[in-house]
């Protein structure tokens, strides 16, 4: 995936879609995977380094590797053009010119695609990476020659000044520092960029705000134990009065426009019913057979018509239906077949629906409906305890609702100011899970329920959110 790609000072090598590429980790030119470029270099830059960059064919520790001598990759020193300091970006990727002939060499941020490959972040294992706050994507401005830390410092101050000048009002004071960051500064971040304080020289919001207080831009006080608030702002400070939102460069603007994502709209999810073999006699008169998919209203209509056509409505009580042999076999339990002769309409219809097999239909905006048998898996939120006694929030099944796990991870990293990783869900082949450091179920719930407008019945685990005032 392209968010793990590190662009060296010399720029990315020129590759075309379909080119064979060698993928390696920073600090060692020995490939750990071989893949085919899913897009050209120009398209990678236009996308803002988002999405799938390579289709992996063969990886270190996959089945092909296991059929050989199972040796580890050799250590091959980087070329002179490789930047010497990139090893500090844990799990980063490096791109060179050519390796052999037409094979290009790029490295990814520990996101080797196949499930057979152990996902790595530099020399760290996944469990270590989960708790490493430095793991994440920066989405730097590709037109800026400054270091990543310098870019993040500038972005942090830009969002801070923008928030004070254009969003925060005097009536908002005192303002929680967490509210300043989550509700005001993030929304001032330019499109295509990602604000991550841990990537700045300040590392923590409190340290950055102390620096701003030293410049006499704001006053910060601890109004309640452990909770800091901004109690005063000098809106006449030269840094605020002189601040203007910089115009994006043409190149940066092109990249941002190319990477702009469409707003998420939740799918329409409808419960359906599948006719099993044991109930085909009841539905065959209406032209349906085993495996037919029906809506609940269709099932009710078919059962009502069957009862009326076969004169099963009780003559003395129109609310009762006499059970013929077919209805007995379809909806009654074995012990009831000689004792239950009639049923009320609502009981008859409910029993019929319960005996049918579940199915569902998912319709995404602008797309054809997708019908599947079984029940749709809810978005599953759990808390896991790591060896270091730290909690990790894990969310699965986002793909079933049209959500990109990588995009959700990026949003949560910003909102929670915590490290996130995306890994294959254990025991699955094509399902990813997002891990966020700490108990972040409250943030996750707000994102899914309020912003994405997903029905609560399709989300399980929200009750595990931390109680107010309780440490995460």
CA distance 111 to 115: 10
Helix residue spans in 167-248 (DSSP H): 177-179, 205-214, 238-241
Instruction: Give residue 99's pLDDT.
Output: 42
**Can you give the pTM of this predicted structure?**
0.46
pLDDT in tens, 249-269: 444 444 344 444 567 888 999
Partner residues linked to 221 by β-bridges = 229
Is residue 378 within 8 A of residue 414, CB to CB? The reply is no
All structural domains of the chain: 2-67 (2.30.130), 148-242 (1.10.10), 268-362 (1.10.245.10), 377-464 (3.30.780.10)
The tokens describing 191, both together, are 């499109």
**Segments of the chain scoring below 50 in pLDDT:** 81-104, 107-139, 249-260, 471-472
pLDDT at 144: 57
**pLDDT value at residue 106:** 57
**According to the model, what pLDDT value does residue 109 have?**
41
Taking the C-alpha atoms of residue 123 and residue 410, their distance in angstroms, rounded to an integer, is 22
Whole-angstrom distance, CA of residue 351 vs CA of residue 336: 13
Confidence at residue 468, expressed as pLDDT on a 0 to 100 scale: 59
Q: Which two tokens stand for residue 33?
A: 């995977």
Helix axes 296-309, 345-355, angle to 10 degrees: 120
Check residue 86 and give its pLDDT. 38
- pLDDT of amino acid 304: 93
Within 108-228, where are the H helices?
126-130, 148-166, 177-179, 205-214
What is the rounded distance in angstroms from the CA atom of residue 409 to the CA atom of residue 393? 11
Burial (CB count within 10 angstroms: exposed 0-12, middle 13-18, buried 19+), residue 386 = middle
Helix (H, G, I), strand (E, B), or coil: what is residue 470? Answer: coil
Q: What is the DSSP letter of 25?
A: B
pLDDT at position 92 is 41
Tokens of 469: 């005032």
Q: Could you report the per-residue pLDDT of 395-434, keeping only the tens digit for each?
A: 999 988 988 888 888 888 888 878 888 888 888 767 888 9
């Amino acid at each position: 995936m392209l968010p793990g790609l590190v662009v060296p000072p010399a720029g990315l090598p020129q590759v075309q879609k379909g080119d064979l590429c060698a993928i390696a980790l920073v600090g060692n030119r020995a490939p750990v995977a071989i893949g085919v470029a899913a897009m050209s270099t120009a398209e990678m830059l236009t996308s803002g380094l988002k999405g799938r960059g390579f289709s992996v064919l063969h990886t270190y520790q996959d089945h092909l590797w296991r059929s050989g001598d199972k040796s580890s990759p050799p250590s091959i020193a980087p070329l002179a053009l490789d930047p010497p300091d990139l090893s500090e970006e844990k799990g980063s990727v490096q791109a060179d010119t050519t390796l052999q002939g037409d094979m290009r060499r790029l490295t990814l941020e520990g996101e080797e695609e196949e499930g057979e490959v152990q996902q790595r972040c530099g020399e760290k294992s996944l469990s270590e990476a989960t708790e490493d706050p430095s793991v994440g994507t920066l989405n730097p401005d590709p037109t800026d020659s400054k270091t990543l830390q310098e870019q993040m410092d500038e972005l942090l101050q830009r969002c801070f000044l923008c928030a004070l000048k254009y969003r925060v009002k005097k009536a908002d004071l005192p303002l929680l520092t967490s509210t300043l960051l989550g509700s005001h500064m993030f929304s001032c971040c330019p499109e295509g960029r990602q604000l991550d304080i841990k990537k700045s020289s300040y590392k923590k919001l409190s340290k950055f705000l102390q620096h701003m207080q030293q410049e006499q831009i704001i006053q910060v006080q601890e109004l309640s134990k452990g909770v800091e608030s901004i109690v005063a702002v000098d809106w006449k400070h030269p840094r605020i009065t002189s601040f203007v939102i910089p115009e994006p460069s043409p190149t940066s603007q092109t990249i941002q426009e190319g990477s702009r994502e469409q707003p998420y709209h939740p799918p329409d999810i409808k419960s359906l019913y599948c006719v099993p073999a044991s109930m085909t006699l009841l539905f065959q008169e209406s032209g349906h057979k085993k495996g037919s998919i029906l809506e609940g209203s269709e099932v009710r209509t078919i059962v009502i018509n069957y009862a009326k056509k076969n004169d099963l409505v009780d003559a003395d009580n129109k609310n009762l239906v006499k059970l013929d042999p077919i209805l007995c076999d379809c909806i009654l339990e074995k012990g009831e077949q000689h004792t239950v002769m009639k049923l009320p309409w609502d009981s008859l219809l409910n029993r019929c629906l319960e005996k049918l097999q579940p199915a569902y239909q998912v319709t995404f905006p602008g797309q054809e409906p997708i019908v599947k048998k079984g029940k749709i898996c809810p978005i599953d939120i759990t808390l896991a305890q790591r060896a270091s006694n730290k909690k990790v929030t894990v969310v699965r099944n986002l793909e079933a609702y049209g959500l990109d796990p990588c995009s959700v991870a990026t949003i949560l990293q910003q909102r929670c100011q915590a490290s996130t990783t995306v890994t294959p869900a254990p025991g699955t082949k094509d399902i990813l899970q997002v891990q966020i450091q700490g108990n972040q179920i409250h943030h996750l719930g707000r994102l899914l329920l309020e912003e994405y407008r997903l029905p609560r019945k399709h989300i399980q685990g929200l009750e595990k959110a931390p109680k107010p005032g309780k440490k995460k």
